[in-house]
Structure 1
Amino acid sequence: MSKSPAQATLDKADKKANSSSGWFSSATSKFEEAGDLYQQAANQFKIEKNFKAAGDAFAREAECRENGKENNEAANAWWNAAKAYKQGFPQLAVQALAQTIVHLTQAGRFRQAADREKEIGQIHLQENNDLRKGMRELRESGTANACYKDAADLHADLEEYPQAIARYEQVANHSLGSALTKYSVKEYWLRSGLCSLAMKNDTVSAKRNLAKYSNQDPSYSSTREAKFVQALIDAVEAGDQEAFTGAVVEFDQVTKLDNWKTGMLLKIKRALQDSETDAGIL
């Protein structure tokens, strides 16, 4: 049975990597040539949809790049390995991303390292449904604002609302300092407000935080987000499910609610219903 083009190229790469350096060639050039062949084999395996073999070949390319002191190329090869492994081999993808992060950190490419950390968090979340591990990975990569926000969302999913609020406030505080990101602050404060209300319908914390945010940015109180939180607080305090639903519908008509906010609002409404039931029993 004849070998596939990818396997034939892989065999050539192995032979080159394991060869002894001749009189007219250096060890560095040997590893460089072997790395090029492993990369070629990996891309051929991808065409064949053999993603495990592709990831393995990219990993072997990365090792050749490391032996040849080509650290930038090694980082790229590990990342390519991770992308191949993502097609059904999440744990191997995490290991390859961890190697990528080592090289990026050593090169001072911290933003890219943070992005790779975020990928690890997302793999734990999507592939393994491991919320806590994913949250920890995202938190450790918190040099990027998006990572703090994702970590906050995960805290909220775990119903760890004080931690979620602290993270949203962290992102908002960071965003206030830049004209480019200041527009997004009202979104983070809205999410914080929903977390307060989900915390056993804690209107005291929600009102206190609403006042605090308005002091930090006087324009916040006039936003639709702030008015929405205030309307929800009023409805919860009054035990008025109709007013609560009305506020949600009105907000959604202008600004479509995403899945996360919808889930949080359902939690708050269920707690509101439960408190009304308890009041009826008493």
Structure 2
Amino acid sequence: MPSKSPAQTLLEKADKKANSSTGWFTSASTKFEEAGDLYQQAANSFKIEKLFKEAGDAFAREAECRELCKEENEAANAWWNAAKAYKRGFPDLAIQALTQTIVHLTKGGRFRQAADREKEIGQIYLQENNDLRKACESFERAGEWYQQEDAAATANACFKDAADLHAELEEYPQAIARYEQVADQSLSSALTKYSVKEYWLKSALCALAMNDTVTAKRNMQKYSNQDVSFNSTREAKFANALIEAAEAGDIEAFTGAVYEFDQVTKLDNWKTNILLKIKRSFQEEPGLT
């Protein structure tokens, strides 16, 4: 019969403690506190053995013991430790554990940490589960919490990620609104002002993806009023060239503008995808001349 691993032995001790009846001299909370400590030791021991699912499960049991003792902070920590273990190959369990962490953090008014965990959830949805919709919701929620906590730059990064995802989901009006929000926020600081032209270009591309050259033109006018230097940027010239080509239904001018821009600034995947969508709509709607 194979001998039990140290982690397994600790886990059995923890289970035994959690299920024991309380005697005359021990209170239930003492019992769960001690069980919680044992589950934590077992979890760390499983981590050493690289048994991440078992480690996550043991941390989750620890968290439940902490909850029974009304120890909010310890419970939040235990759930977060569970999530970190589950992240090694069990994304859905990691999301569940992070969600539990957030419950305790928001109860304790720790919205900054809650935002960090919510952002982690967004990244798991995006990278592991390829669920753009859920990822987008998590980034927006995280952004709002960061905003409440005056963490403007971090909030902005989340809203920008959400905007990119709205566009990929073809929710262009929501994407434009988020890009404009991020740009407005970025205009207020000398450090972030340089990135505004990128957000405005993306907004213009979203309007073109909706076949709405009127909105695209109106927005470009609005942006150049907000920042007089915008019109002379490569981004603005590129957007205006695309709008003109779209109005004329001129696919060659469109392709030429894209080629020229790409020669100097390599197009990233996001821009390449949306430009292909815009180009397809040209082919579907011949220029109304």
TM-score when normalising by structure 1: 0.85
2:213 matched to 1:203? Answer: yes
2:100 matched to 1:99? Answer: yes
2:157 matched to 1:146? Answer: yes
The one of 155, 158, 169 aligned to 2:180: 169
| Distance in 1, Cα, partners of 2:250 & 2:116 | 44
Structure 2 residue aligned with 1:242: 252
Structure 2 residue aligned with 1:230: 240
Deviation at 1:161, TM superposition (A): 0.9
- Secondary structure of 1:271's counterpart equals helix
Structure 2 residue aligned with 1:156: 167
Structure 2 residue aligned with 1:193: 204
Deviation at 1:257, TM superposition (A): 2.0
| Distance in 2, Cα, partners of 1:35 & 1:100 | 16
| Distance in 2, Cα, partners of 1:256 & 1:36 | 53
Residue deviations 1:30-68 (CA, integer Å, cap 9, x gap)? 544433332232233233333221111111122233344
Structure 2: any 5+ residue segments left out of the alignment? Answer: 145-154
Structure 2 residue aligned with 1:214: 224
2:91 matched to 1:81? Answer: no
Deviates more, 1:129-138 or 1:163-172: 129-138
| Distance in 1, Cα, partners of 2:256 & 2:36 | 62
| Distance in 2, Cα, partners of 1:172 & 1:17 | 53
- What is the number of equivalent residue pairs in this alignment? 278
1:253–1:44 distance in 2 versus 1, CA, 3 Å? farther
Structure 1: any 5+ residue segments left out of the alignment? Answer: none
* Counterpart amino acid of residue 136 in structure 1: E
Deviation at 1:24, TM superposition (A): 7.9
Give the aligned CA root-mean-square deviation in angstroms. 2.6
2:189 matched to 1:178? Answer: yes
1:254–1:31 distance in 2 versus 1, CA, 3 Å? farther
Structure 2 residue aligned with 1:59: 60
| Distance in 2, Cα, partners of 1:211 & 1:152 | 21
| Distance in 1, Cα, partners of 2:238 & 2:162 | 24
